[in-house]
Structure 1
Amino acid sequence: MNKQIKSVQIPGLILSISIFSFVLMAVATLLTYSSELSFTAIWSDPYYRHITRFSFYQALLSTLLSVLLAIPVSHALFRCHFFGKTLLLKLFATTLVLPVLVAVFGLLAIYGNSGLLAETFAYFDLPLPFSIFGLNGILLAHVFFNLPFACRLFLQALNSIPEKQHQIAAHLGLKHWNKFRFLEWPHILGQLPHIAGLIFMLCFTSFATVMALGGGPKSTTIELAIYQAIKFNFDLQTGALLALWQIILCALLAVFIQKISSTNLLNTNYKGTENTFAHRSFLSTCWDVSWISLIILFVVPPLLMVVLSGLNAQFFTVLTDIKFWAALKNSLIIGSSAAFIAVSFAFLILLASRQWRLVGLNGRADKIEMLATIILVTPGLVVSTGLFLLLREMGHIQSLALYIVIAVNALMSLPFVLKSLAQPMLHNAQKYELLCASLGISSWNRFYWIEWKALKSPILYSLCLSFVLSIGDLSAIALFGSQSFSTLPLYLFQLLGSYQMQSAAVVALVLLVLSVGTFIVIEKLFQLELKKRVIND
C-alpha cells in the first residue's frame, strides 16, 4: 500500500516542481537582462516612481469602492427575496470570468464619449461630465468586475449565520441597525481582509483593463509599462527590470494578504431565512430596494448593450471575414488545450497532496500546492516576458507562439482549478480510500469508477472555468500575437484601436455568447446528471 501511495504522489510532485522550475526559468532569463538589479534606478526615475504609485493608487481605490459598495448591496440581497434573485446571482458569477474587453466594450457603449449616457446629455445640450478614459475608466471597469464578486462572497458569509442566531436576535428585539452591528457585521468582518486582499491583487496586476482604458502615461501601471517597453520600445533591460520589480511587489503583497486574511470556514448547508425579515419598516425596505436597484442598473445595462450593439449591419460581414474565423479557431484551440492541461495537472497534484492530508501531513500538502500556484505572485505577463526573452535568443518566437500562449494560460488557470477541486477530491478520498485499498482498486479503474463518477460535476466546472478564463485572456497573446496569429480578445482590441466600432461590437457579442453559453451548457449537463441519479436511485 505504501508503494501504491508513493506511485500516486510522484507524478504530482514532479509536476509541481516542473511548474515551479518553468516559472523560475522565465525569471532567471529576466535576471540575465537585469544583471545590475539597480532597483534604486526605478525609484530615482520620476516616470517609474509614478507608475508604481499609480499601480497602488488605482488598486486601492478600486478595492475600496468594490468592498464598501458590496457590503450594503450584499446585505440588501440577504434580506430580500424577489423574483429574479437567482438569475441576478448567476449574472454576478458571469462578470467574474467575463472576458475583460467584452465588459470594456459594454462600459464604453454606456459611459463612453459616444455612449448612451453621452447621447442623453447631448439631448439636453449638456456635455458629458467625465471621460471614461484614464483613472475614471479603470475604476469603473474594476468595480464592474469586482463588486459582484465581493457581493457573492459577502452574501455567502451572511448565509453562514446559523438560524438559531436569527431566532435569538428576534427574541431580543434587535432591529435593522443593531442586528447588523451585533450579528451580521462580525461574519462580514471575518471575510473582509481576504476579499479585499484578493481584489487588491487582481486590480494591482490588471493588464487588459488598463491597456484599453488607461488613456496615456498618466494612467499606466507597472504591468502595462512592461508590455510597452518590450513590445513597442524593444527596451529589454527596462522590461526585465520592471518585471522583476513587479514580482517583488506581488510577493510582498501576497505575504501581507496571507497574514491578514481570515481562515473562517463558511457553512454551505444554509437553509435560508425566508421568514426572518417578515416584518420590516418602510424605510428599511426602501433602503434595500435602492441598493438592489443600483447594482442591477450598474451590472445589467453594459451586458445588454453588448448584445444590442452586436446585432448591427456588420454582423454577417464580420462572420464571413477570414480573420475572424482564424481568431476564433485560435481562441478555441488555446481555451480547450489550456483547460485540459490545467485540470489534468491539478488532478495529479491534488492526488499527491490529498494523500499527505489523509495521514496528517498538511504542511507537505500545502507546499506542493504552493509550488503549483507560484503564478499568483508571478503575473502571466511577467512569465510571458521571460519566455519572450528566452525564445528570442533561440529565434523561435513565432513558431512556438501558440504553445507558449497555451502554457501561460494553463498556468494562470491552475490556481482556480486547484481551489475548485481540492475539497471535493479530499472528501472523495476520505469516503473511499479504505474501500479501494481493501478491494485493490487502483490506476484507471479507480479514476473511472471512484473519481470520475463522484467528481464529474466539479471537474466539468473546472474545465469550463479554465476555458472561459483562457479564451478571454489578453496578457500572453499581447506579446506573442501578430497579424498572422491572433485570438478573439486581440482581434477585438485591434478593431477598437482602429475605431471599427460596429465590427468590434460583433466580436464582443461572440465572446459574450461563447463565455456565458459555456456555463449554460455545463449547468444543463449538471441538471441532466442529477435527473439520471434520481431516476437510478
Structure 2
Amino acid sequence: MISAAERQRSYGYGIAALAAVFGFILVALAALSGFGRIEDAVAVFDEPYIWRILRFTLWQAALSTVISVALAIPVARALARRPHFPGRLWIVRLMAVPLGLPVLIGALGLLGIWGRQGLANDLLTLAGFGRPLQIYGLQGILLAHVYFNLPLAARLLLAGLERVPQEYFRSAAMLSMPGRAVFRFIEWPVIAPLIAGVAGLIFMLCATSFTLVLILGGGPAATTIEVAIYQALRFDFNPSRAVALAGLQIALSGAVLIALAFLPKASDPGSSAETALDRPDGARRIGALADGALISAFTVWLALPLAIILVKGLKADLLRLIGERVFLHATATSLGIALGAALISLAIALAFITATGAVAASKRPGPAARGFRATIAAMGSLVLLVPPIVLGTGWFLLLRPAGLTDAAAPVIVAGINALMALPFVLRVLQPAIAVHRARTARLSASLGLSGLARIRIVDWPGLKRPLLTALSFAMALSLGDLGAVALFGGDDLTTLPWLLYSRLGSYRTADADGLALLLGALCLVLMIAGTRAPEAR
C-alpha cells in the first residue's frame, strides 16, 4: 500500500523520465527531418548505391542469422546430452562472454586469427599454402556475427532442451528409438517454437550492426546502412544522404520490430550450466565422441579470439601505453562518460519502475494509468527503433551549425549510451525491486517509514546488490561502445574505443592490441565488481 502523496510523486518521476527520454529522441529526429530540403533527401533514393546498401544490410543479416541458428542447434543438443562433460559449467559461462565483450575487442581477436597476418594464415604458410584467407568483406562480417550470435542462440536453445522431462528420454531408450527419432519426436518440438524468436533477435542485432561492419566491411561493396550514415557525415559531409539513410534505418528497424512482435519470445530462463541427470540417448560411445568433439571445437571457437587478445596484448609495450598522456586522457574521458551514462540509465529505470509500481498498487487503474504503464514497458523497443548512430546523426546536425559539437559531445554520448543500457538495467532491477517491495512494503508502512528514511533503512540495504550490478554493467556497456562516439570522436573527445580504432586505422596494430587488452580488462573488472557486489544482510 502506498499513500496518495507517494503515488503522485511516483507518477511525477515516471512522467519526468518519459519526457526526458522522448525529448532526447524527438529532438534528434526533428533535427534529421528539418535539416535541409526534403527534396534533396528524397532524391538520394534515386541512387542505385542506396538500394545496394539496403540489399546488403538485409542479405548479411539473413545469412548471419541462418548460419548462427543452424550451428547452434547441434551445439545445444550436444551440451544437453552431456551434462557431466568436463568443464561444462565453465563452457556455458564462456558462452556469455561474447555477449558482454566490447565488439571492437572481439573484432580484433578475430583479426588475430583469420586476418592476413593472423594465426590461420601463419599455419597455412608453414604448410606451403601461402596466405589465402581474407577476412575483410562479407565473409569477415559473417564470421564476426556468428562469433557473437552463435553462443546466444545456443544458450537459448540449450535452456529449452533442458526443460524437457527426463521421462521422455527414458521412454525413448526403452523403445530403442534411434537418435534421429529422438530429435524428431522429442527435441525438435521443443526447439522449433524457439527458433523464430531466436532468429528474429539475431536478425535485429545483425541488421543494426555498426562496429563490426565498420572494422571488417572492406569498402563500399560491404557496407550497411548504419556505416553508410557514418561515412556520409564523417567523410563526405553529405547531410541529405545521412538524413535519408537515417530514415531508411528507422523504417527497417520498425519493420523488424513489428515482425518480432508476432514471433514467439526468445526468453532466457537463466543459466543452464548444471543438469544432474545423464540422458539415456547419450550412452553410445560413438555419440559421446561426436558430442565431445563438437563441444571441444565450439569451446576453441569461443576461447581462441580471447586468447589471441591476451597473448598479443601482453606482447605490446603496456607500460609505455599506460604512461601516454593520450591514454590517460582517454581513460578518464571513457570512465567519466560511462559513469554518467550508467547513473542516467539507473535514474530513468528507477523512475520507470517506481511509476509502474504505483500503477500496479492502484486497485482500479484507469485507462490513462494503464496506457502510462504500457508506454514505459515499450521503452526497450523504442530504443531499438532508433539506433545510436541515428541519434548521434540528429544531434550532430543540430549542434554543428552553432559550433557546439565539441562542447556538448560528452553529454550527448553519455545520453545515447544511457538509452542503450536502459533495457538491460530495467531487466536487472525490475524483478529485484518487485520482490523487495513485496517483502518490505507492509512493514515499512506499519513503521511509518517513507522518503529518505525508508531509502536509508530499508531500500538501500535490500537493493544494494542489484543496483551495483546494474550500475557496473551499464558502465561496462558504455565503456566499450564505439557507435555513439563515432561521429563525435577526435582530438577533443577521445575515448578508449576511439583511441583503439584510431591506432588500428593508422596500422599501429601493436598499440591496438595493447589497448584492446587494457579495455577488455577494465570492462571485465567492472562486470566482476557488479556480480560480486556485497549481499544485503
Scaled by the length of structure 2, the TM-score of the pair is 0.92
Equivalence map 1:1-12=2 (5 Å): 1-12=3-14
Asked whether the 8 Å contact 2:416–2:484 carries over to 1, the reply is yes
Aligned to 1:476: 484
Q: Given the alignment of the two structures, is residue 520 of structure 1 paired with residue 528 of structure 2, yes or no?
A: yes
Alpha-carbon distance, 1:497 to partner: 0.8
Aligned mate of 2:296, from 293, 313, 321: 293
Q: Secondary structure at the match of 2:406?
A: coil
Alpha-carbon distance in 2 for matches of 1:501, 1:265 = 37
Check 1:436–1:93 CA distance in 2 against 1; reply closer, same or farther (3 A cut).
Answer: same
Check 1:271–1:448 CA distance in 2 against 1; reply closer, same or farther (3 A cut).
Answer: farther
Q: Given the alignment of the two structures, is residue 216 of structure 1 paired with residue 224 of structure 2, yes or no?
A: no
Q: Given the alignment of the two structures, is residue 242 of structure 1 paired with residue 260 of structure 2, yes or no?
A: no
Alpha-carbon distance in 1 for matches of 2:139, 2:323 = 36
Alpha-carbon distance in 1 for matches of 2:198, 2:387 = 19
Equivalence map 1:479-494=2 (5 Å): 479-494=487-502
Aligned mate of 2:202, from 196, 199, 202: 199
Asked whether the 8 Å contact 2:45–2:244 carries over to 1, the reply is no
Aligned to 1:62: 64
Alpha-carbon distance in 1 for matches of 2:216, 2:374 = 38
Q: Deviations over 1:37-68 (max 9, x none)?
A: 67764543110010000011111111111111
Aligned to 1:422: 430
Alignment-mate amino acid for residue 15 of structure 1: A
Aligned to 2:376: 368
Check 1:417–1:71 CA distance in 2 against 1; reply closer, same or farther (3 A cut).
Answer: same
Aligned to 2:32: 30
Q: Secondary structure at the match of 1:410?
A: helix
- Bigger mean CA offset, 21-30 vs 257-266: 257-266
Q: Deviations over 1:413-468 (max 9, x none)?
A: 11121122222222333343344334333223333444333333332222222111
Alpha-carbon distance, 1:320 to partner: 1.7
- Bigger mean CA offset, 453-462 vs 508-517: 453-462
Q: Secondary structure at the match of 1:477?
A: coil
- Bigger mean CA offset, 277-286 vs 219-228: 277-286
Alignment-mate amino acid for residue 342 of structure 2: A
Unaligned runs of 5+ in 1: none
Aligned to 2:395: 387
Q: Given the alignment of the two structures, is residue 117 of structure 1 paired with residue 120 of structure 2, yes or no?
A: yes
Aligned to 1:132: 135
Unaligned runs of 5+ in 2: none
Task: Provide the alpha-carbon RMSD of the alignment.
Answer: 2.4
Aligned to 2:416: 408
Q: Given the alignment of the two structures, is residue 275 of structure 1 paired with residue 278 of structure 2, yes or no?
A: yes
Alignment-mate amino acid for residue 487 of structure 1: T
Aligned mate of 2:193, from 187, 190, 193: 190
Alpha-carbon distance in 2 for matches of 1:395, 1:388 = 10
Alpha-carbon distance in 1 for matches of 2:271, 2:50 = 46
Alpha-carbon distance in 2 for matches of 1:437, 1:463 = 28
Alpha-carbon distance, 1:190 to partner: 2.8
Q: Deviations over 1:387-420 (max 9, x none)?
A: 1111113221111111111111111111121122
Q: Secondary structure at the match of 1:311?
A: helix
- Bigger mean CA offset, 74-83 vs 55-64: 74-83
Alpha-carbon distance, 1:358 to partner: 4.5
- Bigger mean CA offset, 79-88 vs 499-508: 79-88
- Bigger mean CA offset, 220-229 vs 253-262: 253-262
Alignment-mate amino acid for residue 14 of structure 1: A
Q: Secondary structure at the match of 1:480?
A: coil
Aligned to 2:340: 337
Alignment-mate amino acid for residue 492 of structure 1: L
Asked whether the 8 Å contact 2:257–2:381 carries over to 1, the reply is no
Identity %, equivalent residues: 36
Alpha-carbon distance in 1 for matches of 2:268, 2:152 = 18
Check 1:440–1:226 CA distance in 2 against 1; reply closer, same or farther (3 A cut).
Answer: same
Asked whether the 8 Å contact 1:13–1:368 carries over to 2, the reply is no
Asked whether the 8 Å contact 1:27–1:244 carries over to 2, the reply is no
